[in-house]
Structure 1
Amino acid sequence: MTREIGGQDWSAADAWRQRFGMMSASAPSFESALESNQEIADAAGAPEDRIKRAREEMRRIVQEHFGGDAALLAAVDSAKVTSEQAMNVLRDAQRAPTSAEYGSLEAIVAFDGTRPSFLVRDGDIDFESSYCTSPWKTTLKPRREQLAAFAACVGRIEVGEIGIGTAFLISPTLALSNRHVAQAIAQFGPSGITVKSDVYLDFGREHQGRESHDRRAVRKVLFAGKRLIAPPIDHEKLDLALLGVDASSSSEHRDRRLEFAPSVAEVDAGWMVATVGYPADWRQWVPTEFVNEYGELIAKLLEGEKGTKRFAPGQSGGMLAETANATGPRSAMHDATTINGNSGSPLAIIDGAAPLQAVGLHYGGQWAGQRANWAHVLAACANAEVTGGVDLRTALKQHDITL
Structure 2
Amino acid sequence: MVDELEPRLDRTAKRVRKLFFGGGRGALGVGFEGAAPPPGPESTLEAGGTQNRMPDERDVQAITARLLAARAASGRVMNPVEAEGLARTIVANANRALLDLDGAPDGSLGQKAAMALEAVVQVRGRPAVRILAEEFDRFTDPDSEIWQLLAGEHFDAMWAIASATAAVKVTERFITNRSWVQGTAFLIGPGMAMTNRHVLFPPDGGVRLGRRFPGTTTARLKGDFEITLDFAFDNGRVRENVYRVVGVPFVAEDNDPVDAAILAVEPMSGPQPAPLPISRSDAFDVGRLYIVGHPGYLENVPEDILTVFGRPDERKRVSFGQLMDPEQANQAYIVHDASTIGGYSGAAVLGFGSNEVRALHYWGDSTAGNRAVGADAIRRHPVIGPMLT
The answer to whether TM tops 0.5 is yes
**Residue identity opposite 1:304 in structure 2:** R
SS of 1:307's equivalent in the other structure is coil
Alignment of 1:218-229 (within 5 A): 218-227=245-254
- Aligned match of 2:316: 309
What is the CA RMSD across the aligned residues, in angstroms? 3.7
**In the alignment, structure 1 residue 175 sits paired with structure 2 residue 193:** yes
Out of 104, 113, 118, the residue aligned to residue 106 of structure 1 is 118
- Aligned match of 1:3: none
Segments of structure 1 that go 5 or more residues without pairing to the other structure are: 1-8, 229-235, 283-293, 385-389
Evaluate the alpha carbon distance shift between residue 35 and residue 238 of structure 1 in structure 2; reply closer, same or farther with a 3 A threshold: farther
Which structure has more RCO (C-alpha within 8 Å, separation ≥ 6)?
2
Out of 176, 183, 206, the residue aligned to residue 165 of structure 1 is 183
Supply the distance in 1 between the matched residues of 2:268 and 2:39 (Cα, whole angstroms). 38
Q: Tell me if structure 1 keeps the 8 A contact 2:288–2:322.
A: yes
- Aligned match of 2:355: 356
TM superposition shift of 1:102: 2.7
Evaluate the alpha carbon distance shift between residue 187 and residue 57 of structure 1 in structure 2; reply closer, same or farther with a 3 A threshold: farther
Q: Which moved more, 1:184-193 or 1:20-29?
A: 20-29
Supply the distance in 1 between the matched residues of 2:37 and 2:128 (Cα, whole angstroms). 23
**Residue identity opposite 1:57 in structure 2:** A
Segments of structure 2 that go 5 or more residues without pairing to the other structure are: 1-11, 23-27, 172-178, 202-207
Q: Tell me if structure 2 keeps the 8 A contact 1:219–1:245.
A: yes
TM superposition shift of 1:41: 2.6
Task: Report Cα offsets for 1:185-205 as digits up to 9, x if no partner.
Answer: 222242751213311100122
- Aligned match of 2:3: none
Evaluate the alpha carbon distance shift between residue 295 and residue 343 of structure 1 in structure 2; reply closer, same or farther with a 3 A threshold: farther
**In the alignment, structure 1 residue 376 sits paired with structure 2 residue 373:** yes
Q: Tell me if structure 1 keeps the 8 A contact 2:219–2:248.
A: yes
TM superposition shift of 1:81: 3.2
- Aligned match of 2:337: 335
Alignment of 1:291-310 (within 5 A): 297-298=304-305, 302=309, 304=311, 306-310=313-317
Supply the distance in 1 between the matched residues of 2:47 and 2:252 (Cα, whole angstroms). 38
- Aligned match of 1:194: 220
Evaluate the alpha carbon distance shift between residue 243 and residue 342 of structure 1 in structure 2; reply closer, same or farther with a 3 A threshold: same
Alignment of 1:3-402 (within 5 A): 14-15=17-18, 17-18=20-21, 22-23=31-32, 33=42, 38=47, 40-42=49-51, 46-66=54-74, 67-68=76-77, 78-89=89-100, 98-99=109-110, 100-110=112-122, 112-126=123-137, 128-134=138-144, 135-160=146-171, 161-183=179-201, 184-190=208-214, 192-196=218-222, 197-207=225-235, 209-227=236-254, 237-247=257-267, 249-250=269-270, 253-254=271-272, 256-262=274-280, 264-268=281-285, 271-280=287-296, 297-298=304-305, 302=309, 304=311, 306-321=313-328, 328-351=330-353, 355-367=354-366, 372-384=369-381, 390-394=382-386, 396=387, 401-402=388-389
What's the TM-score, normalizing by structure 1? Answer: 0.73
Supply the distance in 2 between the matched residues of 1:340 and 1:61 (Cα, whole angstroms). 22
TM superposition shift of 1:242: 0.3
Q: Tell me if structure 1 keeps the 8 A contact 2:297–2:314.
A: no
Supply the distance in 1 between the matched residues of 2:41 and 2:161 (Cα, whole angstroms). 18
Task: Report Cα offsets for 1:319-344 as digits up to 9, x if no partner.
Answer: 442xx5xxx32211111222454111
Evaluate the alpha carbon distance shift between residue 107 and residue 378 of structure 1 in structure 2; reply closer, same or farther with a 3 A threshold: same
TM superposition shift of 1:63: 3.2
SS of 2:257's equivalent in the other structure is coil
TM superposition shift of 1:163: 0.6
Supply the distance in 1 between the matched residues of 2:38 and 2:260 (Cα, whole angstroms). 31
Evaluate the alpha carbon distance shift between residue 156 and residue 356 of structure 1 in structure 2; reply closer, same or farther with a 3 A threshold: same
**Residue identity opposite 2:373 in structure 1:** H
Supply the distance in 2 between the matched residues of 1:145 and 1:273 (Cα, whole angstroms). 16
**Residue identity opposite 2:120 in structure 1:** I
Evaluate the alpha carbon distance shift between residue 238 and residue 213 of structure 1 in structure 2; reply closer, same or farther with a 3 A threshold: same
Evaluate the alpha carbon distance shift between residue 363 and residue 349 of structure 1 in structure 2; reply closer, same or farther with a 3 A threshold: same
- Aligned match of 1:231: none
Evaluate the alpha carbon distance shift between residue 201 and residue 12 of structure 1 in structure 2; reply closer, same or farther with a 3 A threshold: closer
SS of 1:136's equivalent in the other structure is helix
Task: Report Cα offsets for 1:366-397 as digits up to 9, x if no partner.
Answer: 236x7x2111112233333xxxxx43313x1x
Supply the distance in 1 between the matched residues of 2:39 and 2:195 (Cα, whole angstroms). 29
**Residue identity opposite 1:276 in structure 2:** V
Evaluate the alpha carbon distance shift between residue 11 and residue 238 of structure 1 in structure 2; reply closer, same or farther with a 3 A threshold: closer
**Residue identity opposite 1:202 in structure 2:** D
Supply the distance in 2 between the matched residues of 1:55 and 1:306 (Cα, whole angstroms). 20
Percent of residue pairs identical? 21
Evaluate the alpha carbon distance shift between residue 249 and residue 25 of structure 1 in structure 2; reply closer, same or farther with a 3 A threshold: farther
